[in-house]
Structure 1
Amino acid sequence: MADSDSNKEFLDKKLQEKLHIAKIVRKTVLTVLIAFVVLFAGVIGGGYLYVRSALKPVDPDNKEPVKVQIPIGSSVSQIASILEKNDIIKSAIVFKYYVKFKNESGFQAGNYQFNQSMTIQEIVERLKKGELMGEAAIKLTIPEGLQLSEIADIIAKHTPYSKKEIMNQLTNQQFIKQMQKKYPNTITDDIFNGRIKYALEGYLYPATYSFYEESPPLSEIIETMIKKTDEMLVPYRNKMKELSLSTHQFLTLASLVEEEATEKADREKIASVFYNRLEKNMPLQTDPTVLYSLGKHKERVYYKDLEVNSPYNTYKNKGLPPGPIANAGKQSLDAVANPADTNYFYFLATKEGEVIFTKTLDEHNKEKAKHITEKD
């Protein structure tokens, strides 16, 4: 009986000890959990307050202008760091994630004027619109349909650089490789085809460019135009995939449309003729490629010109030429991305600028007899 009471007392003691330990464990876990929740809430609350503060102007009352230079080719992270360094924004990290969250893009390089009272969205809009400070020291207007050497003439006319210096830069392999590294979606290995006359032909976008230095680096001038091409091609990337065209092929085809089109031309129909011919494995037979092969401009293309021995001559070679023959504007890019649905295989431009489309060679010859003097 004594042994039984002793065992019962021992078991009760052990049970009490277990209950006591369990109570301590529960209290400890609860304490740790409360501490974690408080800490987590503090972090979340602190983070929220930090972000909310960082999204506000640095100083709402300070409108003193601050000059900020955004170099060509700057990434969003680099732009954010520059703005933070110049006390235009409170946090480069918050700015970067704000831009990402809002899906903002298309920031332009240049010399800007900001102030500390600006909101982040105001800063973003200014960077997108390219609202630069003061008058441009150099303004270059590059029209559509120009060849690389013609663009070099315009640059030489408005800058301290000679045409020879410009063409040397445009054909410099090291510079071209640098551009490929910066803009890999646009400058691809396709431009290194040995049959291509100029690797960057067709890659300098037609637009007006402003520079705020008297003598901006030549590399910066050219890169600005390449960067613009890279930006302009973004909306067409999916279309290129649908059409099974590389960037190089897309720009090449757009350059043909650009060179064939007149002010009154229906570029979508011109593009459709090229697509229809490519599908039937017919030579494109477009006169601008002959002129590019000859290396000169002429009012008329004669039969003897069609025999020029060049990979660009689309009378002698089927398919697309090795590369673009000029720079193409947005209208031509749109036409290549969205060609008309036609059965046309021929077209010709009249002296009045009208473009006549036909389905058969017989129809084409009849229209040519009506509107164009026979070539020599």
Structure 2
Amino acid sequence: MGNGSKKEVMFERMREKKKEVKIVRKIVLIIALVMLLIGIGVGFFVYKYITGALQPIDPESEKVIQVEIPIGSGLNLIAGKLEEKGIIKDARIFKYYAKFNNESQFQAGSYGLTKAMTPDELIESLKTGKVYRTPVFTMTIPEGLKIEQIANIVDKKTGIPAADFIAYVNDEATIDLLIGKYPQIFTEEIKAETIKHPLEGYLFPATYPFYEEKPTLGTVVDEMVKATASNVTPYLDYLQKEEKSVHWLLTFASLLEEEATAQSDRQSIASVFYNRMKKDMPLQTDPTVLYALGGHKEKTLLKDLEVEDPYNTYKNKGLPPGPIASAGASSIEAVIDPAKTDYLFFLADSKGINHFATSYEVHLENKAKYIK
């Protein structure tokens, strides 16, 4: 083969490579254009979906839809209820829109909403607590009350006899009904023989609106239990991870509710109880003794500490069998997020101020100094 022929072959190969490169470039360009068009299409679809989700479902609708927002409801629960009722298109979009606008402080209540309302109108309504139905009456259950005390309030506000209330909340049929309705909240723990009142600690302290003059016993109790469920649901994942139950949480929180006088005290007292349990020390908290005795006393006597009862934390290590009162949200939160301390002791002075100590010697010094 001559030099001319070799050159021709070489040039031919170069021409073929150039063609291949051009073809590859065209393919890459086409793929890039297709991907760009797909990206634009997807982006346009997402944009249209989001803007559509932020429009009223039916701008012409005048039908009022009743929506109940339970006490303690978070944004997830509220958005889910609005979607469930058909008032918004997508709960996630509404939730992100509210978060983007730093809106989170919503009011519990019964709302009359329509499909014609915009997200801003819905948020404003939920923020201001504008209730379309005016309750016939409200009933306030303060923190730290026991079943008998709650029964007396119910008696005064609804006319339901306290004895009937106590009988209802202790009835096995009621307990089975609630276990079936709220399986994540109630466990067989409340049926233990050592439990004095199965629903002690499960009737959440709050102000409840009622829209009928004479609500049934079942309605009253269910409203309180529903509020408890709303307040403990955010902690279910934590409890599962720690292998703890709602019963454990409410029992622990009830001790803080009875002992604490301030928010900071709740977290510090929680740390004391955690530290004592880690060291296998009894909690030795007086409110459990009073609960065991079944009454209220201004001062716990030494002989009281000797009472043989599962609730007496001087005689028994760990938490009592169940809650000793209804704990509020701050006490529940303190169990989940206690202070980080080495405290093992505390006492309250005559002004209700708690004083903490890391050793028994310091605790005795505090006792001599503050307890007259």
Report the TM-score when normalising by structure 1: 0.73
CA shift for structure 1 position 117: 2.8
CA shift for structure 1 position 193: 1.3
What SS does the corresponding residue of 1:133 show, helix, strand or coil?
Answer: coil
Structure-2 separation of matches of 1:364 and 1:338 = 24
Query: What residue number does 1:204 align with?
Result: 203
Structure-1 separation of matches of 2:345 and 2:323 = 21
Cα pair distance change 1:108/1:211, threshold 3 Å: farther
C-alpha deviations, 1:44-75, integer Å up to 9, x for none?
Answer: x9xx999988975465356x573637599x99
% identity of equivalent residues:
45
CA shift for structure 1 position 129: 7.7
Contact 2:67-2:113 within 8 A present in 1 as well: no
What SS does the corresponding residue of 2:209 show, helix, strand or coil?
Answer: strand
Contact 2:263-2:330 within 8 A present in 1 as well: no
Structure-2 separation of matches of 1:127 and 1:183 = 26
Asked if residue 267 in structure 1 is aligned to residue 238 in structure 2, the reply is: no
Query: Where does 1:158-169 land on structure 2 (aligned, <5 Å)?
Result: 158-169=157-168
Structure-1 separation of matches of 2:236 and 2:81 = 25
What SS does the corresponding residue of 1:197 show, helix, strand or coil?
Answer: coil
Query: Where does 1:222-371 land on structure 2 (aligned, <5 Å)?
Result: 222-263=221-262, 266-371=265-370
CA shift for structure 1 position 294: 0.8
Structure-2 separation of matches of 1:128 and 1:290 = 43
C-alpha deviations, 1:234-285, integer Å up to 9, x for none?
Answer: 2223333454432111111111111011137622111111011111111110
CA shift for structure 1 position 359: 1.8
What SS does the corresponding residue of 1:146 show, helix, strand or coil?
Answer: coil
Structure-2 separation of matches of 1:189 and 1:337 = 23
Cα pair distance change 1:118/1:78, threshold 3 Å: closer
Asked if residue 68 in structure 1 is aligned to residue 60 in structure 2, the reply is: no
Asked if residue 146 in structure 1 is aligned to residue 138 in structure 2, the reply is: no
Structure-2 separation of matches of 1:234 and 1:60 = 34
Deviates more, 1:304-313 or 1:129-138: 129-138
Contact 1:264-1:354 within 8 A present in 2 as well: no
Contact 2:347-2:354 within 8 A present in 1 as well: yes
Contact 1:289-1:314 within 8 A present in 2 as well: yes
What SS does the corresponding residue of 2:139 show, helix, strand or coil?
Answer: strand
Cα pair distance change 1:309/1:125, threshold 3 Å: farther
Contact 2:67-2:82 within 8 A present in 1 as well: no
Contact 1:58-1:116 within 8 A present in 2 as well: yes
CA shift for structure 1 position 148: 1.3
CA shift for structure 1 position 155: 1.2
What SS does the corresponding residue of 1:68 show, helix, strand or coil?
Answer: strand
Cα pair distance change 1:282/1:213, threshold 3 Å: same
User: How many residues matched?
Assistant: 318
Query: What residue number does 1:16 align with?
Result: none
Contact 2:141-2:153 within 8 A present in 1 as well: yes
What SS does the corresponding residue of 1:266 show, helix, strand or coil?
Answer: helix
Query: What residue number does 1:194 align with?
Result: 193
C-alpha deviations, 1:72-125, integer Å up to 9, x for none?
Answer: 9x99999867x56xxxx5xxxx74xx2266569999996532345323675587
Larger radius of gyration: 1
Q: Look up the equivalent residue of 2:277 and give its one-letter code.
A: L
Runs of at least 5 residues in structure 2 that lack an aligned partner in the other structure: 1-44, 71-76, 97-103
Structure-2 separation of matches of 1:182 and 1:101 = 30
Structure-1 separation of matches of 2:68 and 2:114 = 15
Structure-2 separation of matches of 1:110 and 1:331 = 21
Query: What residue number does 1:15 align with?
Result: none
Asked if residue 219 in structure 1 is aligned to residue 222 in structure 2, the reply is: no
Structure-2 separation of matches of 1:341 and 1:49 = 49
Structure-2 separation of matches of 1:334 and 1:346 = 21
Q: Look up the equivalent residue of 1:140 and give its one-letter code.
A: M
CA shift for structure 1 position 147: 0.8
Q: Look up the equivalent residue of 2:64 and give its one-letter code.
A: V
Contact 2:79-2:94 within 8 A present in 1 as well: no
Q: Look up the equivalent residue of 1:245 and give its one-letter code.
A: K
Deviates more, 1:359-368 or 1:348-357: 359-368
Runs of at least 5 residues in structure 1 that lack an aligned partner in the other structure: 1-44
Structure-2 separation of matches of 1:114 and 1:140 = 25
Q: Look up the equivalent residue of 1:113 and give its one-letter code.
A: G
Cα pair distance change 1:330/1:119, threshold 3 Å: same
Cα pair distance change 1:201/1:280, threshold 3 Å: same
Contact 2:144-2:325 within 8 A present in 1 as well: yes
